[in-house]
Amino acid sequence: MISKSANKIFNESIDKYHIKNDVNQLIDNPYPKDSLEHLLYLKNWIDTVQWHLEDIIRDPEISPEEALKIKRWIDKSNQERTDVVEYLDSWFLNKYKDIKVEKNARINTESPAWALDRLSILALKIYHMKEETERTDISDAKKQEVNNKYQILLEQQNDLSTAIDELLEEIETGKKYMKVYKQMKMYNDPELNPVLYNKK
């Protein structure tokens, strides 16, 4: 089951990041470069750094210069995140390229990689919500609210993990097929973003 492996790798990445808990630290990916595991670890590391950048930029006392620097960093991170998701989908497309698709096979609403993207973000939500459940400086009512949210996130993780495994099983048996559309983002292309090309 790929979800079990993915969740384990996501947790490894999150735990490793929080040893230093520093957005400037470099990734130390323990998995072979061309492997699925390498891509999953990279995907979550990008998500984890960006999670903390999003916290930093919400500091009401952040200077405008620092906020702009962080915003640019987040923009770059979003592009890297999208690129890794597309690499993941390419990995799956290659894995299933020889599958005989049934005549009445259906397409899924999202690709396996974008579903794994959501699972990666869920792992981060669970880690940080669990931290909140362990606080001693909040009211009992707030603690109960946080605990309820934590339990819902665990349920979501279980449901999404099951859905991903079922999707991949259906692709493997030809009941569903993959069709991937690249994210045709325009704002990063100097020839497609009017703010950029109108400056020429």
pLDDT tens per residue across span 29-63: 999 998 999 999 999 999 999 999 999 999 999 99
Q: Which two tokens stand for residue 68?
A: 């702009």
| Best CA proximity match to 59, nearest among 87, 23, 94, 10 | 23
Please report which residue ranges of 28-63 form alpha helices under DSSP H.
36-57
Residue 53: partners with Cβ closer than 8 Å, 6 or more residues away: 23, 70, 73, 74, 77
For residue 161, the enclosing domain spans: 2-197
**148, HSE (Cβ side, Cα atoms, 13 Å):** 6
Helix (H, G, I), strand (E, B) or coil at 33: coil
pLDDT at 134: 94
The total of structural domains in the chain comes to 1
pLDDT at 97: 92
Question: CA 200 to CA 196: how far, in whole Å?
Answer: 7
Q: Which two tokens stand for residue 95?
A: 């894995």
Buried b (16+ CB within 10 A) or exposed e, 86-114: bebbebbbeebeeeeeeeeeeebeebbbb
Question: CA 196 to CA 113: how far, in whole Å?
Answer: 31
* CA torsion angle 5 50 38 132 (round to 10): -30
pLDDT at 34: 87
Low-confidence ranges of the chain (pLDDT < 70): 183-188, 192, 195-196, 200
Query: For helices 140-172 and 2-20, what crossing angle results, to 10°?
Result: 140
